[in-house]
Amino acid sequence: MKKVFTSPMKLLLVISSGSFMAVLVAVLIAEFFLQQKLNIPSPYPIVESLPQHTHTKKIEAFSGPPPWQQPRPEEVFNFPITYGDTGPSDSLFSGPKQYPFLCQSLESGLGQPIVDNQDGYGTPVFQENSSGEITSTVIGYSKDCSLPTRWQLKQFKDEKLFIRIETGTINRFIYALLIPTTSEDTEQAPDFSQWNGALIYHFKGAIGIGYQQGKLRLNRIIRDMKPALKKGYAIAFSTGNETDNHYNITLQEDTALRVKQQFIRRYGQPKYTIGFGDSGGALQQYLLSQNNPTLLQAGVAVDAYPDMVSQITYGLDCPLLEYYFDYLAADKTFWHKAQHRSWVSGLSFNNNYTPRGEWLERLTNWLRFNQHPKRSGATECNYAWRGSVQLVNNPRFNSHHARYSDKVLNDTHWSHWQDNQFIYGTDEHGYAQIPWSNVGVQYGLQAWKRGHINAEHFFDLNQKIGSWLPQKELQPENFWLLSQQKSLFSFSPYQTENFSHKGKALNSAPRIPGSHSAAIGAYNGGHIFTGRLNMPLIDVRRYRDDILDIHHSWSAISSRQRIIHHDKSDASRQSTAYHSIWIADKSFKQAHWLALEAIEQWLSPGSVNSVESVAKQNMKPSTATDRCFDKDGQVIANGHSVWDGEWNQRPDGHCTQRFPFFRSSRQVAGESAAATILFCQRISIDDAITAGIYSPLNITAEYRTKLQSIFPQGVCDYSKPDSAAQ
């Protein structure tokens, strides 16, 4: 049994209170279920060691040109992959292989990977007995996780539909090709009688930081895409295009191009390819359309963000803001209410929810005899974003730690930034640079201007909020078993040692910027969606802002604003020609399939809405225009003005009234709905006053002095573009 209490005095006091057994049982139950969820210890082989010369100390951030200005190299692999052979493990143009790389074919139900070394690099491969069972004898190791290409025929239960399924590895990720067929289908003689000639590339979401192959959940893909398969679509998928595994858009493009090439060489050229996927699978469609318009002809982007990087800007604000509200604020009582916090964070709130992990935080505070912060309700910040930003940002936090040896864990920097080190660059210590800064950001400015908070709240917040420390100085998170911590006493949603103020209320908490060159790399590397949408795309989602879902509705408006801004520089384009926003009541779960039907009409061969006609005439079918749906799937309103609102300085449209938008902390600080700015351009306090940034507030001499003290380097001028956007 693990040690639960670290202090004999506390143990004695808890026992004497008569609550010890209840607490102990609660802790042990929580630990058991968390261990099961995290596979601790892992039932699968772990990555034991790294190849030599894996890490490079100093890498310059990517300086361009951007991907939409670069030709792609000619393919060097001879597709299609022969059945029984393996696909390419080296990518075509996305850079060198990343190590460690966790093999996950066994848990995908595809057997062990192929042995590729005897040096102990990667995952051990075991001898199998005559029955195919794995023994304890190691016969070699696999660092690149290759699998032979296989074929199988699967039938839906109680239905006549058969699916031809091909699996294998390309760029080390597991791919799957699915085509509806009949029982007459054979390995060498595919039956295409049930295929409609079109291909859907299925992208999937969640948050991952690289260093893993990803698990192929074939039954889930078949379940999720069953309506499309029944309509005759072929489906292509790769774990390399599931953001639960990584957010390297260059590698995602490289992988998708090759998986599609395998499909074409095996089965023929599809009449068109539609992107389809949610969350991170949706934002891939935005970025791939921008970076390489040849891959997809249209997209159904479900629960989309414009990109990942610009979401982390306000995501990293969340722990700073929440810690201030809980522990540093001079007027903590005011910040008890979730709505008051929402006025500054911009994100949604719900008075009937509690922050994620609240019960565990309350328990550990009670065990430590610490006062638990008072909160009434929850916000998207403390309900949906907890843990996600730490996973992205902290090189000493890996929620999959059970799958790697201690040496591999200690020798690797685990973050999204490190996963994309050839975009963001690294420092002299080998830590990836980050494209984040809050220097000059006036948190809560719009809330002050609207009278939601007063001057004292505004100044206290901006004086104390601080920032994040550099990557090299970050300490492990306090997430108990998620952070390899054995004692529950260490649990906290905050790691104060990672804040510039170290958890203390300072008169002027330092704001430490990230790397400007990393921010330039984010733009030039195609990791920021800048509004270059080159295909028809329906941004479709259910409205779940009221339940604090991380997939907030205002992301659709952010994408729209970027498209409008970009198209202003191109007179030949009409801002909404390729873009539609659909939002449905959360009870209606079929909107994305209606969107697919609308895309089909948009791309109908020979119609005025064909791919070529759309490009030439900027036309979309009436069935694909902006719209919103009620709980029964009935259209509430549709048309070009239904999503008007504060974001475009117009009266709220019918759909905006039904499904109101929230926003981010940076928009509350003055940024536009586009929400692209990583490093703002700054102006002096006097120039900001003259420019009307504080209007209609009366900035007294006292206020002016305070502002100059808090913002000695000036404040953000959001009327100007990102200083990193070249």
Q: What is the pLDDT of residues 290-322, one digit of tens each?
A: 999 999 999 999 999 999 999 999 999 999 999
SS3 249: helix
Strands 579-585, 627-629: parallel, antiparallel or unpaired by DSSP? parallel
SS3 473: helix
Share of the chain above pLDDT 90, in %: 84
Identify whether the C-beta of residue 407 lies closer than 8 Å to the C-beta of residue 572.
no
Residue 609: is its pLDDT beyond 50?
Answer: no
Longest Cα pair distance anywhere in the chain, in angstroms? 85
Q: Please name the residue that has the structure tokens 């800007």.
A: 313
- What pLDDT score was predicted for residue 371? 87
Identify whether the C-beta of residue 409 lies closer than 8 Å to the C-beta of residue 50.
no
Q: For the segment 695-713, what is each residue's pLDDT rounded down to a tens digit?
A: 999 999 999 999 999 999 9
Please compute the mean of the pLDDT values over residues 97-108 and round it to a whole number.
97
Average pLDDT over all residues of the chain: 92
- What pLDDT score was predicted for residue 469? 98
- What pLDDT score was predicted for residue 13? 35
306 preceded by cis ω (within 30°)? Answer: no
Strands 199-203, 234-238: parallel, antiparallel or unpaired by DSSP? parallel
Residue 31: is its pLDDT beyond 80?
Answer: no
Please compute the mean of the pLDDT values over residues 566-588 and round it to a whole number.
83
Joined together, the tokens standing for residue 84 give 């029984």
Strands 199-203, 273-278: parallel, antiparallel or unpaired by DSSP? parallel
Residue 487: is its pLDDT beyond 80?
Answer: no
Give 320 or 22, the one with higher predicted confidence.
Answer: 320
Confidence of residue 338 (pLDDT cuts 50, 70, 90): very high
DSSP summary character for residue 385? S
Please compute the mean of the pLDDT values over residues 25-53 and round it to a whole number.
77
Per-residue CA distances from 113 to 125, 142, 144, 560, 645 (Å): 7, 6, 8, 44, 53
Instruction: Find the helix or strand (DSSP H, E) in which 201 lies.
Output: strand 199-203
Residue 506: is its pLDDT beyond 60?
Answer: yes
Give 357 or 714, the one with higher predicted confidence.
Answer: 714
Please compute the mean of the pLDDT values over residues 710-725 and round it to a whole number.
97
Residue 593: is its pLDDT beyond 80?
Answer: yes
* Domain residue ranges of the chain, discontinuous segments joined by +: 8-38, 81-271, 312-516, 530-668, 670-716
Closest among 408, 406, 397, 357 to 378, alpha carbons compared: 357
d(CA 545, CA 352): 13
d(CA 105, CA 694): 57
Joined together, the tokens standing for residue 705 give 């002095």
- What pLDDT score was predicted for residue 53? 78
- Give the DSSP letter string of 156-175: -TTSS-EEEEEEEEETTEEE
Q: For the segment 378-406, what is each residue's pLDDT rounded down to a tens digit?
A: 999 999 999 999 999 999 999 899 999 99
SS3 493: coil
Residue 159: is its pLDDT beyond 80?
Answer: no
Residue 720: is its pLDDT beyond 80?
Answer: yes
Joined together, the tokens standing for residue 426 give 């690294």
pTM exceeding 0.85? yes
